[in-house]
């Protein structure tokens, strides 16, 4: 299926690795012009090289800036004044007991996971509305619905993204600009791979056993019972960024392996 993304310009924040890179690569494979973003110039250049290795015909550029900060956002705006597609992928997570989370961590998580996307949408959405076309996607998480006891501050930010994406979709009703949220479940990002590698080394048990135990103990409602590949998440994201998804807006779409125990 042709997703009709040729000549569309897309910015994906935090896209030098993991889900963000997979989304950027998927968009590039559909002939969109993509802008990769990361905090370091070295990381951005390495990601661009990987992208061009896998999608030789890719139209791609990169910008090194910390999208979690106001200064970083302004640096992005100066280099990228307008886009057709905005994917707010930037996010951080950590496991920490609720009673050990200080004010600074709550604020850091909010600014990185929530306010970063607000800044981006506030800048680019009005320009999309002027052109009567645009796509905005917030990469949230199933943790926005199933708040994880071990990282409540992370879950809080993912729920906030759902509220923002729905409210912004209402604000942009009838404009030709769609706004949606994507809810991945446990996914084999670099951080998760590191966690699994450490668990294998510490326990001496095989990876398959570690994975099975994780889903049995930590995510028992999963229906797939395995970690998703980043490309599996990106497939849905790329579709939502396309003209083919014109009737989907204000939605929270799950690519969570069935973890959320709900039919809607």
Active site residue ranges: 154
Extract the tokens encoding 172: 């942009």
DSSP element (H, E) containing 104:
helix 103-110
- Structural tokens at position 166: 């729905």
How would you list the strands of the sheet with 59-64, edge to edge?
59-64, 33-38, 9-12, 85-88, 134-139, 177-184, 252-255
Q: Would you give the end-to-end CA distance of the chain in angstroms?
A: 26
Under 8 Å CB-to-CB from 253, ≥6 apart: which residues?
A: 180, 181, 182, 183, 236, 240
Beta strands in the chain (DSSP E): 9-12, 33-38, 59-64, 85-88, 134-139, 177-184, 252-255
Task: Give the whole-angstrom CA distance, residue 258 versus residue 221.
Answer: 7
């Amino acid at each position: 299926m042709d997703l009709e993304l040729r000549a569309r310009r897309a910015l994906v924040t935090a896209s030098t690795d993991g889900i963000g890179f997979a989304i950027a690569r998927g968009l590039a494979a559909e002939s969109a012009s993509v802008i990769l973003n990361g905090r370091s110039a070295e990381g951005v250049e390495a990601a661009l090289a990987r992208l061009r290795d896998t999608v030789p015909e890719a139209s791609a550029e990169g910008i090194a800036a910390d999208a979690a900060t106001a200064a970083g956002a302004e640096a992005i705006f100066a280099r990228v004044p307008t886009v057709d597609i905005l994917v707010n992928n930037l996010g951080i997570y950590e496991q920490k007991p609720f009673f050990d989370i200080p004010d600074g961590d709550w604020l850091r998580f909010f600014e990185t996971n929530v306010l970063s996307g607000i800044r981006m949408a506030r800048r680019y959405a009005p320009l999309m509305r002027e052109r009567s076309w645009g796509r905005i996607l917030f990469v949230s998480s199933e943790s926005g619905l199933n708040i994880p006891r071990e990282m409540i501050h992370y879950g809080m930010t993912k729920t906030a993204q759902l509220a923002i994406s729905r409210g912004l979709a209402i604000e942009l009703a009838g404009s030709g600009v769609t706004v949606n949220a994507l809810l991945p479940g446990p996914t084999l990002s670099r951080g998760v791979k590191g966690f699994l590698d450490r668990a294998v080394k510490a326990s001496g048990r095989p990876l398959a056993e570690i994975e099975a135990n994780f889903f049995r103990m930590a995510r028992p409602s999963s229906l797939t019972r395995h970690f998703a590949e980043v490309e599996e998440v990106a497939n849905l994201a790329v579709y939502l960024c396309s003209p083919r998804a014109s009737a989907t807006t204000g939605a929270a779409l799950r690519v969570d392996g069935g973890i959320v125990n709900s039919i809607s």
